[in-house]
């Protein structure tokens, strides 16, 4: 039986790679990806300055490009900002919002991020929206409470119909870039809780259609086990998206029995 939800693999390049290494990654890894676009979406997020050169180098036309961030403002006198309108005008369809690095280093709160998401969707973008808890919060059994707070803040801004433009990325902060990974069971439990929260607060059909992907030291060695879980609909990949093993991660989704 086919999955109710198309799987999604996102590659968040963060502030990595120079012009040469970005081109090399596209030519040596991204252009060699093979997957069924009816089953899997692949979205890569280069540094903003490199989006055009990545687009020019792409020959794998089923791979999409995302921005790593979008502002809470439209066109206007906002020095240094990149508005959703700029992204749409540039031909992009995706942005990442809410990553823990944005929350931690740039003081982006639930309120700011939920408003960003609303504006991005209103402008025509799809949003990969990140949620997740710290190690201290997990050890204090606050995981579901933290994720609930983040999801409810988002829900206070977006309409029922706009959940179709959202992908939720559960990224336990303690597993990002640390080499530690939530077990498949731990990830599944939180994904199921997220879906249950959406079902209760928004709509059961919205919850079933919503894609909830996992991020947090996803690698080519653990992706097959993770994607086998019922409520894991793909991945947001950080460091491993810069390596040849990214192909294995995409393959694990393409070959998943979902």
pLDDT at 195 over 70: yes
Pair 237, 248: CB distance under 8 Å? no
Compute how many other C-beta atoms are within 10 angstroms of the C-beta atom of residue 38. 9
Active-site pick, 85, 101, 133, 171 = 171
Is 171 annotated in the active site?
yes
pLDDT at 130 over 80: yes
| Residues in CB range of 192: below 8 A, 6 or more apart | 230, 231
Q: For 199-244, how does the pLDDT look when each residue is reduced to its tens digit (9 = 90+)?
A: 999 999 999 999 999 998 899 999 999 999 999 999 999 999 999 9
Residue 135 pLDDT = 86
Q: Residue-wise over 126-137: b if at least 16 C-beta within 10 A, else e? A: bbbbbbbbbeeb
122-150: average pLDDT: 94
Residue 158 pLDDT = 98
Q: Taking all residues of the chain, what is their mean pLDDT, rounded to a whole number?
A: 95
Active-site pick, 99, 101, 191, 229 = 99
Task: Please tell me the pTM assigned to this model.
Answer: 0.96
**Pairing mode of beta strands 166-170, 126-131:** parallel
Cα–Cα nearest to 53, from 33, 81, 24, 95: 24
């Amino acid at each position: 039986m086919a999955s109710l939800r198309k799987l999604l693999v996102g590659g968040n390049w963060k502030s990595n790679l120079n012009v040469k290494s970005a081109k090399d990654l596209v030519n040596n890894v991204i252009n060699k990806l093979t997957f069924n676009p009816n089953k899997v979406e692949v979205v890569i997020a280069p540094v903003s300055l490199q989006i055009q050169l990545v687009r020019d180098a792409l020959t794998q036309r089923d791979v999409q490009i995302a921005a790593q961030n979008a502002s809470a403002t439209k066109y206007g006198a906002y020095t240094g900002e990149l508005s959703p309108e700029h992204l749409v005008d540039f031909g992009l369809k995706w942005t990442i919002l809410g990553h823990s690095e944005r929350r931690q280093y740039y003081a982006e709160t639930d309120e700011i991020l939920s408003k960003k998401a609303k504006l991005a969707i209103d402008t025509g973008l799809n949003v990969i929206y990140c949620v997740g808890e710290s190690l201290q919060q997990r050890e204090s059994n606050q995981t579901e409470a933290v994720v609930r707070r983040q999801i409810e803040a988002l829900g206070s801004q977006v309409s029922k119909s706009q959940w179709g433009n959202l992908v939720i990325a559960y990224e336990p902060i303690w597993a990002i870039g640390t080499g530690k990974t939530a077990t498949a069971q731990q990830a599944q439990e939180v994904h199921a809780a997220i879906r249950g929260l959406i079902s209760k607060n928004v709509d059961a059909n919205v919850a079933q259609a919503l894609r909830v992907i996992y991020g947090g030291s996803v690698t080519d060695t653990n992706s097959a086990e993770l994607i086998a879980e019922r409520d894991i609909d793909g991945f947001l990949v950080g460091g491993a998206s810069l390596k040849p093993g990214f192909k294995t991660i995409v393959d694990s989704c393409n070959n998943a029995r979902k």
